Chain A
Amino acid sequence: EVQLVQSGAEVKKPGESLKISCKGSEYSFNSYWIGWVRQMPGKGLEWMGIIYPGDSDTRYSPSIQGQVTISADKSISIAYLQWSSLKASDTAMYYCARLLGYCTGTSCYGAFDMWGQGTMVTVSS
């Protein structure tokens, strides 16, 4: 089955680091951009960034830039989202999603046609 499967829920303390994952299966993972989308409790969707696993070209939302790092290991079809120092305000559900579209040198276009099941990250002291 063509799908994205994310790592499990995490409970962390402020200041801790974290890396969550998103594994693609049954499709050419390296040939599609993978985006990350945040959904805070009871709130809407917010695009965070996107990566092309084939060459690790990465773009970030201006509002997220510097707060997280997106990476990928194309050899095992996994994309990652990581934090070096979590804050309580990072508490949210995080989704990875495959882009039905493309990115050029200056921007990206399209929609997210397949989503992971989500990873809930809770940051609390």
Chain B
Amino acid sequence: QSALTQPPSASGSPGQSVTISCTGTSSDVGSYNYVSWYQQHPGKAPKLMIYEVNKRPSGVPDRFSGSKSGNTASLTVSGLQAEDEADYYCSSYAGSNPWVFGGGTKLTVL
């Protein structure tokens, strides 16, 4: 059982927007702004897409955005493209365990 809860799957058509949620508790997501999101294509290493809730590393398209409300963080992908199809993992600081991850969401571009 993962510490953070993500939907197992999400989907959208090219050009549409899709939002992936990441639900934690007041001990992790709800109390700290250290939420990050990773993209992982099959057979590849994870790639950092969002850190500190809503910051994008250099090189990440601005189609990717992050937000947080209460105990739930969200990743929104706007203007979906075929190459966005991947697994997405959220992560949050959780005190004694600096990095807890969600179970992952498989994003399908229809």
A45, closest chain B residue (CB): B101
Which residues of the partner chain B approach A114 to less than 8 Å between Cβ atoms? 48
Are A111 and B97 in contact, with the CB atoms below 8 A? no
A115 CB–B CB distance under 8 Å: yes
Which residues of the partner chain A approach B102 to less than 8 Å between Cβ atoms? 44
Q: A111-B52, A113-B51 are in contact. Are A118 and B45 (CB under 8 A)?
A: yes
- For the complex, count residues of A whose C-beta is within 8 A of B: 27
- For the complex, count residues of B whose C-beta is within 8 A of A: 24
Interface string of B89-104 (1 = CB under 8 A from A): 1010101111111111
Are B93 and A109 in contact, with the CB atoms below 8 A? yes
Are A109 and B45 in contact, with the CB atoms below 8 A? no
B46 CB–A CB distance under 8 Å: yes
Interface on chain A toward B: helix, strand, loop, or mixed SS?
strand
A62 CB–B CB distance under 8 Å: yes
A83 CB–B CB distance under 8 Å: no
Q: Please tell me which one of the listed residues A44, A97, A107, A112 contacts residue B2 in the complex, with CB atoms under 8 A apart.
A: A44
Binding site for A on B (CB under 8 A): 2, 34, 36, 38, 45-48, 51-52, 57, 89, 91, 93, 95-104
Binding site for B on A (CB under 8 A): 35, 37, 44-47, 50, 59, 61-62, 95, 97, 100-101, 103, 107-118
